[in-house]
Structure 1
Amino acid sequence: MSRAVVTGAGGAIGSAICRGLAARGHDILAVDVDGAGLAALADTSPARIAPHPCDLTDPMELAALVSAVGADCDLLVHVAGVVVTTPFEKLTDAEADRELGVNLLAPVHLTRALYPVLQESRGHVVAIVSIGGMLPLGESPGYSASKFGLRGFLLALAARTRETGVRVSIVNPGSVDTPMLRHEAATGGSALNFLSTPLAPQQIADRVLGLVDRPRVETNVPRTDGWMVKTGMLMPGLTLRALPWIARLAQRNLRRYQERHGLSSVAD
């Protein structure tokens, strides 16, 4: 029987992934710093979903998580993520450390700790990265740094799949309609998130579940966004000059999103 470890399991995307995996017969260790969110998730499938509250940036809590996993894991799904919208010149050390810690260092450390188990089971690592792991977001340089780094780390692991037996899959969503996106919309996040309609969390969960069945190294959601970003970044200097103009085009969609969700912007 397959056992999965899912981080960020209490959030919109993570909980949808856990429910989908449970319906397919996976046993799940659901990990999140939000104990209440985990409890609500576990109630949906108590026989399959075991909640494990954990701050992934705390070395002692991470070690306890690895101990709880033991030698039983063949699927590791990284979903946990945060974004800081404080302007870079006003960013505190704590904010920078938290963003890099949750988005990059925690997945690296957890994957490293569980890698021998995943090698033994010929397991699979799946991670929610971001289109922001390919396109720099001026309002969120720490987020871009963490996601660029996470994508590079995972691609490097994927380069060793034939040697290690551990498959790696990266999912790069555009914007997803989650509490984190609403936080960005209200506190000065990138307008580029709103060039197109934000995706539903279930769409990302469905893509992850599809990759569990048929692994591939990288998939972009929507696919067109991925190709546009990859093409644009062939000429990064030109793309960076165009980004402010593109962001202005997205401002109307951002304002509509704020109005729909009753959000005030930092400019109000």
Structure 2
Amino acid sequence: MATHLITGAGSGIGAAVAEALHGRGDDLVLLARNPERADTLAERFPGATLIMADLADPDAIDQITGLPDRLDSVQHIAGVVELAPVAELRAEHFREQLEVNLVAPALLTRACLPALRAARGIVVFVNSGAGLAAGASWAAYAASKFGLRAVADSLRAEELGNGVRVTTVFPSRTATPMQEKVHEQEGRTYDSALWISPETVAATVLHVLDVPRDATIPEVTVRPLVPWTPK
């Protein structure tokens, strides 16, 4: 039975991944930003271990306790987004996206490395299509995701000798609450049927997790079958 640490299990892709792993009997270690979210996750995923930490607070990541001795995977799926052109970008929104989307995954990975090395586990960074190309109003979010790709690339090279694999998943527009918010900020009408389902991205993540240990998938991109027209 494998043990997985997951951030962002409360909704969207994170919830879909947690549901799939919980359904097949794996052990879950879930991060929750507050007691209310921890209670919700505990009810949804009976038997899961809950660890409270606010990903927007780097000091909270450094103070995490209760991590298991072995982790078969650490999956960074939580994220935040605030769109704005550079001319109107607020410092607090820039910082929050960098802290949650970039700094927190790096620090959390560092904390989990002993357990990952013990299990010869895998780190999965669920990035974004914005981590490959940045459009207008996406500067802050894309900067955090470009940086996250750099962390993954460096970590992959550093941990190869320890048997720790590293994969970045780049999902394009996915039907999640975050995507609904993005459409609102873009002034677009949101239709979830047009975009990738969270379960499809979750299936991709599980495929990455289940690749035999004699191989690795460094990167994988998932795109919808709908042509995207920039606004």
Which TM-score bucket, shorter chain as reference?
Answer: 0.7 to 0.9
Q: Mapping of 1:41-120 within 5 angstroms?
A: 41-47=41-47, 49-65=48-64, 67-120=65-118
* Whole-angstrom distance in 1 between the partners of 2:116 and 2:177: 32
Q: Mapping of 1:10-49 within 5 angstroms?
A: 10-33=10-33, 35-47=35-47, 49=48
* Whole-angstrom distance in 1 between the partners of 2:138 and 2:173: 14
Assess, with a 3 A threshold, how the Cα gap between structure 1 residues 100 and 56 changes in structure 2: closer, same or farther.
same
What letter corresponds to residue 216 of structure 1 in structure 2? I
- Does structure 2 conserve the Cα–Cα contact (< 8 Å) formed by 1:10 and 1:31? no
Task: Return the offset for 1:46.
Answer: 0.9
What letter corresponds to residue 56 of structure 1 in structure 2? L
The structure in which a higher percent of residues are helix is 1
Q: Mapping of 1:1-268 within 5 angstroms?
A: 1-33=1-33, 35-47=35-47, 49-65=48-64, 67-188=65-186, 197-214=194-211, 215-222=216-223, 249-251=229-231
Structure 2: unaligned runs, 5 residues or longer: none
Q: What secondary structure does 1:136 align onto?
A: coil
Task: Return the offset for 1:114.
Answer: 1.5
Counterpart in 2 of 1:238?
A: none
How large is the Cα RMSD of the aligned pairs?
Answer: 2.5
* Whole-angstrom distance in 1 between the partners of 2:51 and 2:133: 33
- Does structure 2 conserve the Cα–Cα contact (< 8 Å) formed by 1:15 and 1:41? no
Q: TM-score, normalised by structure 1?
A: 0.75
* Whole-angstrom distance in 2 between the partners of 1:35 and 1:132: 31
* Whole-angstrom distance in 1 between the partners of 2:11 and 2:26: 19
* Whole-angstrom distance in 2 between the partners of 1:16 and 1:38: 17
Q: Which has the higher contact order (CA 8 A, sep 6+)?
A: 2
- Does structure 2 conserve the Cα–Cα contact (< 8 Å) formed by 1:10 and 1:38? no
Task: Return the offset for 1:157.
Answer: 1.7
* Whole-angstrom distance in 1 between the partners of 2:114 and 2:87: 41
- Does structure 1 conserve the Cα–Cα contact (< 8 Å) formed by 2:57 and 2:99? no
Q: TM-score, normalised by structure 2?
A: 0.87
* Whole-angstrom distance in 2 between the partners of 1:79 and 1:219: 15
Q: Percent identity?
A: 32
Structure 1: unaligned runs, 5 residues or longer: 226-245, 252-268
Structure whose alpha-carbon radius of gyration is higher: 1
Deviations 1:36-74 (A, max 9, x none): 444333323312x22333212323421343x21142322
- Does structure 2 conserve the Cα–Cα contact (< 8 Å) formed by 1:35 and 1:53? yes
Deviations 1:97-137 (A, max 9, x none): 10000111111111112112211221110110011111112
* Whole-angstrom distance in 2 between the partners of 1:129 and 1:32: 20
Q: What secondary structure does 1:172 align onto?
A: strand
Number of residue pairs the alignment of both structures matches: 225
- Does structure 1 conserve the Cα–Cα contact (< 8 Å) formed by 2:174 and 2:196? yes
Q: What secondary structure does 2:9 align onto?
A: coil
Deviations 1:199-229 (A, max 9, x none): 111111111111110141111102989xxxx
